[in-house]
């Protein structure tokens, strides 16, 4: 599956993210994914405020992580987020790599679906959401 849009954010691993094994605690990877995801959505002009303006929430309903190599305090990392699909659900894939060597340490993905304010799951993302991404990417849909 090829990506429709990709962005990357550089992070220096802070001390408060490591655990007693001196590596980044696994729960903090969700935060790194979130930072990259927010940048990706911001660049696509469909950030969480826009989603709410459209009239829907987009909660994360599925998340996968593969921890190939640990991250350590002070390490410069690059988190890359790639948009994979958006017509029925918003699927974003992530790669975390060492900022200097480029060695991949983590792969992951998240899935978000559109939920109306009264909690009803939508089987497609809203048309206005799809249109906004299509305009940005210069395509019809995914």
CB 13 within 8 A of CB 100: no
Return the bridge partners of 83, or none: 5, 92
Nearer Cβ to another protein, position 9 or 111? 111
> Could you give the 3-state DSSP secondary structure of residue 142?
coil
| Minimum gap (Å) between residue 19 Cβ and another protein | 30
| Minimum gap (Å) between residue 139 Cβ and another protein | 16
Nearer Cβ to another protein, position 80 or 122? 122
The tokens for 9 are 């954010």
Nearest CA-CA partner of 98 in 70, 121, 120, 60: 70
| Minimum gap (Å) between residue 125 Cβ and another protein | 10
User: Under the rule (CB under 8 A), what is the footprint of another protein?
Assistant: 61-62, 87-89, 111, 113, 116, 120-124
The tokens for 14 are 């802070």
Nearer Cβ to another protein, position 121 or 139? 121
């Amino acid at each position: 599956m090829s990506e429709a849009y990709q962005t990357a954010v550089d992070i220096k691993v802070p001390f408060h993210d490591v655990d007693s094994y001196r590596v980044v605690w696994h729960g903090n990877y969700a935060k790194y994914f979130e930072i990259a995801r927010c940048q990706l959505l911001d660049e696509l002009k469909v950030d969480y405020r826009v989603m709410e303006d459209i009239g829907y929430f987009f909660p994360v309903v599925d998340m996968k992580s593969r921890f190939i190599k640990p991250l350590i305090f002070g390490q410069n990392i690059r988190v890359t987020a790639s948009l994979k699909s958006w017509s029925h659900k918003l699927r974003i894939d992530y790669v975390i790599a060492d900022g200097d060597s480029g060695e991949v340490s983590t792969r992951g993905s998240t899935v978000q679906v559109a939920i109306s304010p009264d909690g009803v799951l939508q089987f497609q993302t809203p048309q206005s959401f799809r249109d906004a991404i299509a305009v940005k990417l210069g395509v019809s849909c995914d």
